[in-house]
């Protein structure tokens, strides 16, 4: 792969011709070479899903780069800019694949099989200092099961924990988007009220979901 300056990348990708085709080929090669390291935290290169993912991400990234060439401001290397786009595309695809593999029927479990539900500690202002993240998440799951309806619990797990798109959750639950919004709003309100009684702030509650 030939090394290029920012200006060379832009000029060669903006015009039709042999030099553009060469630049596109090098761009794809660069993206595919960089993804194994960038994605190793989420998906190892020896995973059978990795090679198809890298190829799909490389093609999609090139399309986005071409469409956004006029937005590149030159504040970094062109290759760094492209690599950032590639990683975002890859992570979006990984999230999409993840929720496609999730069964709503299994969401109520909400934790590893070997996790034991623990008794909720007594309310108090210092509770956040005595409960670790794992314990706090276990507590939240238990409160959800006690306070929420099955539909509310399933929807909240799907959206807040598994990051499933609202449209997909609504489709799977046979609901409309607006109805799902109301279901989630009511669920969060119930959860907020109960957890505040235990001495936890709203910020701490939602921070737990964002782990």
Structural domains in the chain plus CATH codes: 6-100 (1.10.1740.10), 105-209 (no CATH)
Write the pLDDT tens digit of every residue in 9-57. Answer: 999 998 888 999 999 999 999 999 998 888 888 888 888 888 888 999 9
Write the pLDDT tens digit of every residue in 106-118. Answer: 655 544 333 333 3
Calculate Rg over the CA atoms of the chain.
23
Write the pLDDT tens digit of every residue in 117-150. Answer: 333 333 444 444 444 566 777 777 788 888 889 8
Q: Is the pLDDT of residue 152 over 80?
A: yes
Rounded Cα distance between 57 and 93, Å, is: 8
Structure confidence at residue 133 (pLDDT): 61
Three-state SS sequence of 35-90: HHHHHCCCCCCCCCCHHHHHHHHHHHHHHHHHHCHHHCCCCCCHHHHHHHHHHHHH
Write the pLDDT tens digit of every residue in 157-187. Answer: 888 777 777 888 888 888 898 999 999 999 8
pTM given for the model: 0.52
Structure confidence at residue 6 (pLDDT): 94
Pairwise pLDDT comparison (142 vs 5), residue with the higher score: 5
């Amino acid at each position: 792969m030939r090394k290029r300056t920012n200006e060379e990348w832009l000029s060669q990708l903006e015009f039709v011709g042999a030099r553009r085709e060469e630049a596109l080929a090098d761009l794809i090669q660069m993206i595919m070479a960089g993804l194994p390291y960038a994605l190793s935290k989420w998906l190892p290169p020896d995973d059978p899903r990795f090679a198809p993912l890298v190829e799909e991400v490389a093609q999609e990234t090139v399309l986005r780069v071409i469409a956004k060439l006029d937005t590149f401001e030159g504040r970094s290397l062109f290759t760094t800019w492209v690599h950032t786009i590639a990683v975002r595309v890859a992570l979006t695809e990984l999230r999409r694949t993840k929720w496609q593999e999730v069964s709503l029927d299994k969401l109520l479990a909400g934790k590893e099989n070997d996790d034991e539900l623990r008794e909720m500690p007594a309310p108090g202002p210092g509770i956040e200092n005595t409960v670790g993240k794992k314990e706090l998440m276990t507590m939240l799951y238990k409160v959800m099961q006690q306070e929420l309806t099955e539909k509310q619990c399933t929807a909240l797990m799907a959206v807040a924990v598994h990051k499933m798109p609202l449209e997909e959750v609504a489709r799977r639950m046979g609901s409309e988007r607006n109805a799902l919004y109301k279901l989630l709003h009511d669920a969060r309100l119930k959860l907020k009220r109960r957890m505040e009684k235990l001495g936890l702030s709203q910020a701490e509650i939602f921070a737990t979901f964002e782990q």
